[in-house]
Amino acid sequence: MHVPTIIERKRDGYALDEGEIRFLVRSFTDGVMPDYQMSAFAMAVFFQGMDAGETAALTRAMLESGASFRWPEHAPRVVDKHSTGGVGDKVSLVLAPLLACDDLWVPMISGRGLGITGGTLDKLEAIPGFCVGLEPEEVLAQLERIGVVMMGQTASICPADKKLYALRDVTATVPSRPLIVASILSKKLAESLDALVLDVKFGSGAFMKTRDAAVLLGEAMREVGGAMGVETRVCYHPMDEPTGRAVGNALEVVEAIECLRGGGPEDLRELVLALAAEVSTAGREQLTAWLDDGTALAKFRDLVEAQRGDPACLDDFAAVHPAPTVREICSPNSGVVTRVDAETVGRAANALGAGRDRAEDAVNPAVGFDRLVKVGEEIAAGDVIARVHAKRSADAGEAKNKFLSGFLCE
Ligand code: URA
Q: What is the pLDDT of residues 161-181, one digit of tens each?
A: 999 999 998 999 999 999 999
What is the domain class of 79-314 according to CATH?
A: alpha beta
Confidence of residue 358 (pLDDT cuts 50, 70, 90): confident
Confidence of residue 17 (pLDDT cuts 50, 70, 90): very high
Model confidence, pTM? 0.95
What is the domain class of 3-63 according to CATH?
A: mainly alpha
CB 110 within 8 A of CB 121: yes
393 catalytically annotated: no
Please check the confidence at residue 114 and state whether its pLDDT lies above 90.
Answer: no
Of the residues 153, 158, 174, which should be mutated to test ligand 1's pocket, given the most ligand atoms within 8 Å of the CB? 174
Confidence of residue 199 (pLDDT cuts 50, 70, 90): very high
Active-site option among 22, 60, 112, 168: 168
Tell me the mean pLDDT in the region 255-276: 98
145 catalytically annotated: no
For residues 81 and 96, what is the distance between their CA atoms, to the nearest angstrom?
8
Tell me the mean pLDDT in the region 353-367: 90
Please check the confidence at residue 22 and state whether its pLDDT lies above 90.
Answer: yes
SS (H, E, C) 217-274: HHHHHHHHHHHCCCEEEEEEEECCCCCCCCECHHHHHHHHHHHHCCCCCHHHHHHHHH
Confidence of residue 151 (pLDDT cuts 50, 70, 90): very high
Strands 148-152 and 106-110: parallel
Domain limits, the chain = 3-63, 79-314, 325-409
- Chain-wide mean pLDDT for the chain? 96
What is the domain class of 325-409 according to CATH?
A: alpha beta
User: How confident is the model at residue 213, as a pLDDT?
Assistant: 96
Atom 1, ligand 1: which residue's CA is nearest?
Answer: 84
User: How confident is the model at residue 249, as a pLDDT?
Assistant: 97
- Expressed in angstroms and rounded, the spacing between residue 180 Cα and the centre of ligand 1 is 5
Atom 2, ligand 1: which residue's CA is nearest?
Answer: 184
User: DSSP of 327-365, one letter per residue?
Assistant: EEEE-SS-EEEEEE-HHHHHHHHIIIIIS-SSTTPPP-T
Please check the confidence at residue 357 and state whether its pLDDT lies above 90.
Answer: no
Active-site option among 102, 122, 161, 194: 161
Q: Which atom of ligand 1 is closest in space to residue 110's alpha carbon?
A: 3
Please check the confidence at residue 89 and state whether its pLDDT lies above 90.
Answer: yes
**Using one digit for the tens of pLDDT, what is the confidence trace for 226-263?**
988 899 999 999 999 999 999 999 999 999 999 999 99
